[in-house]
A = this chain, B = another copy of it.
Amino acid sequence: MQEITHQQIMIFFFSLALLIGLARIFGEMCKKIGQPSILGEIAAGIILGPTVFAYIAPDLQATLFPSSGPLYVTFEFIGMLAITLFMLIAGMEVDLKCLKKQAKPATIVGISSMVVPFIGGFALVYLFPKTFDTQEKTLVTALFMATALAISALPVITKILMDLKLIKTDLGVTIIAAAIFNDLTGWMIFAIVLSLMSDNSGGFPWETIVGIVVAGVLMLTVGRKIILALIPRVQAHASWPGGVMGFVLTGALLSAGVAEWIGVHGIFGSFLFGVALGDSPHLRHQTEEYMEKFISFILTPIFFATIGLKVNFLTHFDIFAVVILLVVGSVTKIFGSYIGAKFCRMSKRESWALAWGMNARGVMEIILAIIALEAGVINDTIFVAVVILALFTSMTSGALMKISLRRRSKTSAATSFGRGAFVADLSHQSPSHVIKDIVLGLKLDHQVQADLIQSIINREQLMSTGLEKGLAVPHCRTDLVKKPVLAIGIHKEGANFDCFDDGKAHIIALIITPLDDPESQLELISLLASHFSSKEEIEKAMQCHSKVDMHAILNAADELSEKKH
């Protein structure tokens, strides 16, 4: 302990708390407005880093986030660990079986969506040497820009497809397969680019390249077989989920070490280990969850926040570089993907959707850029431009896909409830009274309330909306609301809703949906039926005292039910 002072320990706790706290808060704020949380996480780092915090209070900033010494080193290592484990998770999302099944379209779209932006990125460096060339090794920089524009972001694409309920459709599987193809080849090329950069002997780094290829092939053949054979054994004989978690993390770290030994960045190792592991039928879904939550909600935000700590995003913001990169990056990627999709005889609508989807760069490109920055392949200005390209394409992809396919996002019970009301103490027995009591809890003018009450009661008289276990879902469609509204009331003794089992409803969930959104009603009914499907869940919900309590339950339940798909 001699090397670490008491002061440093205190600062360590505070700065880590600041990083995690601010990154999470900003990340959540971005998510709330429908943007990727990584945007907020990087913003948190920008605020804590040289761009803002050091500008306002340079001394305090230098104390909390020093740029050398033990704390600096520790944060570097923790950031590296975070990104290594993030790539493990990203690798686990790669489904080799899916790639095999859709081999043809995946290869065609994969290649065409890579080749065009690859050429574009390569050309950029030679066309605008003043902006892009670092003057060190022009060829390497050009190859990097080519790869950076060619890559897609599997995690972002997966998330978008899940949100649009496309993940299991033909279109979804094709996009995923093409993105996997993109990822695997893109990272291989990048590994080679890096080894070209770090080699100072002047010769071509044959050894490293052969090492990469041999290690990659071994890992995905023999290695994969061994891993898949070991996992059920570990799960059978070790404690669960600790045994399998330990095995996976140890394996990922060892692979990262081997990758470094070969001469490429450790993340290639953990990524490949994740791919080899990915489609193990034995890796219980829940084991994955346990690792994923901690890594993606805690460790990864630390890494992205440290990005903002490293670079001054204001002084290195070059409007020309940003615009040219955005235009060339997006146009080449979208064009390449679109012609690939048309070649596979996809419809115009689907081809556009695929092109927008493939344009999402997200996390992957940022990781690529930070490694390139640290290796001296690009400078701070290009780094900032690449980060902006990555964020901008991730932010727009989902919305553009939605428009192309005329798709809508899934309805969320928590969001609808946010627009609604909570009534804790219903006492009347008849459904009509209960419905009235709940509607009066909504902040609406009298006439609207009266109309709503009438139409919900009319619907209820047609047939009771009582479901199993004590849940009732009176509902109506009306043009009085623009978005789905969910109002929930609790009835301790139970109202007479003719529920399947004992006839008494304890949770009464009023669902009011707009006329022009017919799907939302059914979605909300089935969400609620699944959230309150057991006696325990109903009883827990009945303990709610306030709107916040109920909101908390619905929000967690929404995310749980999303995972089941």
Contact = CB atoms under 8 A, between A and B. Distances in A.
A238 interface: yes
A10 interface: yes
A394 B516 CA distance: 65
Identical chains in the assembly: 2
A301 B235 CA distance: 19
A414 B68 CA distance: 51
Interface stretch (A1-9, A329-337, A428-436, A483-491): A1-9
A260 B10 contact: yes
Contacts of A293: 241-242, 245, 290, 294
A253 B16 contact: yes
Given A9-B260, A76-B4, A245-B298, A232 B549 contact: yes
A223 interface: no
A427 interface: no
Contacts of A286: 556, 560
A14 B73 contact: no
B555 A235 contact: yes
A254 interface: yes
A534 interface: no
Interface in A356-408: 374
A73 B76 contact: no
Closest 3 CB pairs of A and B: A24-B246, A236-B551, A242-B297
12 contacts: A9-B260, A13-B84, A20-B246, A20-B250, A28-B237, A232-B549, A233-B548, A235-B552, A240-B555, A240-B556, A284-B556, A293-B294
Given A17-B250, A32-B237, A290-B293, 6 more contacts: A4-B73, A4-B77, A21-B254, A241-B293, A242-B293, A290-B294
Interface of A: 1, 3-4, 6, 9-10, 12-14, 16-17, 20-21, 23-25, 28, 31-32, 37, 68, 70, 72-74, 76-78, 80-81, 84, 198, 231-233, 235-243, 245-247, 249-250, 253-254, 256-257, 260-261, 266, 269, 281-282, 284, 286-287, 289-291, 293-298, 301, 374, 414, 543, 546, 548-549, 551-552, 554-556, 558-560
